[in-house]
Structures are given as C-alpha cells and as structure tokens.
Structure 1
C-alpha cells in the first residue's frame, strides 16, 4: 500500500494487528482495525506532516483512536479464571457460555509483529480489566516504547495525564509479571516439557500428565466458563476427557501469544483424527503452570488448522 512511492504502510501491518489485539483481546477484530487504520492513513495521506511525527508514530495515533472508539460500551474479553472461583467438580456439565466475548489467542505464525513483547495470554487478559485509555497508555509506553510526549500526542492528552495513567495501569497489573517478560517456546527446557506433555497426552496417560504439572496448575477451557486449579482436579478432568473421547490422540506443535501450544486431534471413529482443541501453555521452572484450552472454531480458522488428519498424516513425524 503505497502512494506516490513515498510512504509504505504495509511493513507496519503485523505490529498494528498485535497492538489492536492487545487492546481488544480479539484477533479477528484486531485484523479488521489494523486494516481500518491503514485505510484511514491512506485517505489522510495528504494531511500527514512528516516533520511532526514518523510514519509509525502517526499510524499508532490512528490505531489507538480506532481502538478506543471500538471499545466504547464494550464488555471486556475474559478468560474463565477471570470470572470467579475455580470449580471443584471435575464432572460438571461442559456448557459453553456463548454470550460471553471470550479472549482469543494470537496466532504467532500469521504476522511478523515487529515487537514481540508482550503477548502473553495472562497479561493480555489482565489488560482487559483496565479502562481503555489506561490500556492504550500501557501498551504504547511499556510495550511499544513510545515517549510520554509521543503518547500524549497520539491520544490527544497531556504528558502528566499519560504518566498518571501509566502509574495506575502498572499498579493494577502488579501481580501479572513484568512487561517484556516474554515466554520462549524454543527454549530447550520449555520445549522438552511440552514434548513430554504431548507424548503423555497422545497416550492418554493421566499420571504422566499430572507429573508434569505445578501443584497449583490451572486448566481453563473457553467458551466453557469452568476452570480448575491443582493437580487433583486437573487430572480428574483429563481422565474424563479421555473416557469421553478415547485414547490414541494426535498433536501438532505450534506457538500462540509467544507461548508453546498444541493443536490436539481426537481419534475419529471414521479413521484418522479430528481437531478437538488448541492448547496454550505457560511453563514455569520445568512444569506446566497453566493450560488454556480453546475450542472455538473461529480460533481454529485463525490458526489455519486442518479439521481432519488422515491416517497417513497421523503417522508422519511432527
């Protein structure tokens, strides 16, 4: 997307999608708003003053205001763990809550985001609890590292107001971990843990899965509003899954939100395997601390996951 050969917006698309995703918690809406940002920039190109701001700074001004407008009157996008206490019944009905706009994962392979920090699911979920303008300030200042003066210009406010909003946002997210604390799915230790989990999952080996968990490991499954904490309930629930869906699963390794992830395929009575869930892991000190399990078809679509694996494909090395 160029005009007169002078400005090319396209190299910024990936990081704009990531920014809009952090703001809205929806990958599909983020794609739409990034496209809207680039369209607005194209239409306003004659008014762009390169002596006042870089193209990137100017694009983020458009994106930030597009996101703030989109968020007006919107409910936040949570994960189940953000809605109440954990369930103590591993046999509870698995009834989806389709009226809740659940947080979606980010498909790392779709875009070069330019700035990797910080797409962690836990952080993006926590960001959704912030007022929209605090959220914008936090991402623009802490993740994208714009100056306070640049953010004030982007949001049409003052430097003291930006600094105050950033301080409040930092305090609200104090329990989530440092901004820039990026997961490393390619770290050998993390990769080994997830590989062991994958093998145990394929074999429906619940004791082996439980041995890989932290004592207070969290399992949650949007759009089902239930979630569980602790190895006992995690194990009991997995036992239930394998009883319902059978054994001899198949998985594919990928990443989401800068975290290790697995696409899990359940055995298909007709042959091969059928897509069941996308699972996104947090690994801490050699153990799985969290597994967010997504079963939304739109999530599968965003990651480009095949719905079915043939018997021949199921036997191929992953």
Structure 2
C-alpha cells in the first residue's frame, strides 16, 4: 500500500496526534541539554518544525519516532555552539586545602546543569513502570555524566538504552548507519561506566526512608543544628553547590562547611519538600534582614538505604517558581 502526504494540515488533528508525546520529548531534550529551560525551548522548536513538516508526514515511521527524529536533530544543532552543562564535581576533585569559605566562579564562566521538576514529565499514575523509568532516566548523576559524552554519542545512548529504540530506528533518527549506532553505543556505555563506576542504590522519593532523610536535612537547616546532619548524611557523602568551584567529600567536611558558612541562626532558612530529577528535593528560602523569606534556590538529595550520599544545591532563585512555589513566602 502506498502512503500519501496529507493534503491539508489541520491544527486540531496535529495537536491530537502529537500532544501526548510532549512530556517525554521534554525529558529527552533535558537529557540531551542538561537544562530544564533549554529543554522547554527545544521542545517548542520541535513542535514548530513538526507542524511545518506535518503535511509531508507519510507514516513510514510511527508518529513517535518521527517526533524523536525532529527533537534529536533540534538538540544536536542547538548543542553544537554551546559549552556542556556541568556540576562542580565534573570540573575538579573535592577541595582539600586550608579551611576557607567556598569560592565562587565568575558569572558566565561555567554553564551549570539545572534540575528538572518531576511534575514537568510525570508519567500517568496508572503506569507504574513508566513512572520508574521516567525517574531513573533523569537522575542527577546520570544527567551530569551524559553531558560529558559527545552529543551524538549521548543521543545514541539515550535513544537505545533509555528509550529502547532499535539500532535500526536509532540509525534512521540520526541519519546514520546501524554499524555507527552500535559503535557509538559501545563507546558511550564504556564512558558512562568510567563516570559512574558504582552507582548507588537509590530510594524512590515516595519511600518513607527517603522522606525521613529529607525531613532530617530540612530540620538541620531550619533549626540551624549541624548535629542533625550527622543522622542523615552517609560517611562518604558529597556536597556541591552551583556556582561554587569548591565541593566537599566526606560527612565531616560537608558538615563543617555547612556549619561554618551556611547554617546561620535558627529561622534563617525555610525549605519546602518537593521532587526533582526523580529524587527528594526542597525549594529553599532565606530570610532577609527585614524578616521576609525570599527564594534562594533548590536542593536535590541522593537518598540511599544507608543515608544521603550526595547533596546538590542550585543557587538560582528562579528555580523556586519553576518548581511551582511562590516568589515570596509569607508565614502564618
């Protein structure tokens, strides 16, 4: 049977056929770009290009594959001139010099990885398997590691190992050969193993143990009580924050830095639990001299059965509203 182009594009039909894929395309673009804001822009560009090409869609591939082809190539074009997004731990080893307040990078000196609100890509609750896959494939450590792969190699690994496209489908999406896909996948997996040699067993955000760890971390800040951190951080915990160049490894060093330079007085901080990157998280407010709680950023925790293995703080006030919380917090 011969396929024929569509005679006249219809916006309602286009929306009905493509809207269902928006959330997963957003997750795909985030995995490629490491930025929630960039991912939104890339998805917008994907749908614009898809609409322009919709009349010529002949159905030789599925609608989903067709959209992923457009989205992947939009990402690859956009990423060519941009520096990769990183966390401090992706730039150098942990700071082990003389005691000092953590030093900052100059604005614009580094392009930082951004967290992704879970609600942006939430899978239907009636599909538990899809929910788990969505969470596991946007975990911070994975996204940070993916950014260190060449963009096409990153795309191959995501399409094959995360999205389960076949080698032939991936070759079609990337306009390359099956042999090139297999070779790129092998190199990508090897590099990812180097970057994540022993990934920790993570607790799901809904796990009561994960929520207890988040609650304990929040309590330490809101009460300005460093001893509470002893109860929730693993001995090998790491602490990093953008845009600081210094990051810490080991519970004692993490607690020292937080106690000496961050915690302040009881009531200086207010945190509200949420989830991001499939992990427990909190939006962070800091009390200014006039007593008002203003947005400070977001923190994402990596919970394991033996405690928090990593604390990643993003000092970006806009993340508070991006995660769905008010710009100023009024306590009652």
TM-score (norm 2): 0.87
Which of the residues 141, 154, 158 maps onto 1:135? 154
Counterparts of 1:36 and 1:112, CA distance in 2:
21
2:18 maps to 9
What count of residue pairs does the alignment treat as equivalent?
Answer: 309
> Is this contact kept in 2: 1:278–1:294, CA < 8 A?
yes
1:274 maps to 294
Counterparts of 1:1-318 in structure 2, within 5 Å, are 3=11, 5=13, 7-50=16-59, 52-88=60-96, 89-98=98-107, 99-112=109-122, 116=134, 117-175=136-194, 176=196, 184-242=204-262, 245-248=264-267, 249-312=269-332
Shift of 1:225: 1.7
Counterparts of 2:148 and 2:103, CA distance in 1:
26
1:316 maps to none
2:127 maps to none
- Secondary structure at 2:237 match in 1: strand
Shift of 1:71: 1.3
Deviates more, 1:191-200 or 1:162-171: 191-200
Change (3 A) 1:183 1:14: farther
- Secondary structure at 2:89 match in 1: helix
Counterparts of 1:92 and 1:5, CA distance in 2:
57
Segments of structure 2 that go 5 or more residues without pairing to the other structure are 1-8, 124-129
Change (3 A) 1:311 1:4: closer
Deviates more, 1:262-271 or 1:200-209: 262-271
TM-score (norm 1): 0.90
Shift of 1:2: 5.8
> Is this contact kept in 1: 2:118–2:275, CA < 8 A?
yes
> Is this contact kept in 2: 1:23–1:67, CA < 8 A?
yes
Shift of 1:150: 0.5
> Deviation above 4 Å: which 4+ runs of structure 1?
none
Counterparts of 1:196 and 1:155, CA distance in 2:
46
> Is this contact kept in 1: 2:321–2:327, CA < 8 A?
no
> Is this contact kept in 2: 1:272–1:311, CA < 8 A?
no
Counterparts of 1:83 and 1:207, CA distance in 2:
30
- Secondary structure at 1:130 match in 2: coil
Shift of 1:87: 1.2
> Is this contact kept in 2: 1:246–1:267, CA < 8 A?
no
Deviates more, 1:88-97 or 1:67-76: 88-97
Change (3 A) 1:308 1:241: farther
> Is this contact kept in 1: 2:203–2:209, CA < 8 A?
no
Shift of 1:74: 2.2
Shift of 1:252: 0.2
> Is this contact kept in 2: 1:96–1:225, CA < 8 A?
yes
Counterparts of 1:97 and 1:173, CA distance in 2:
29
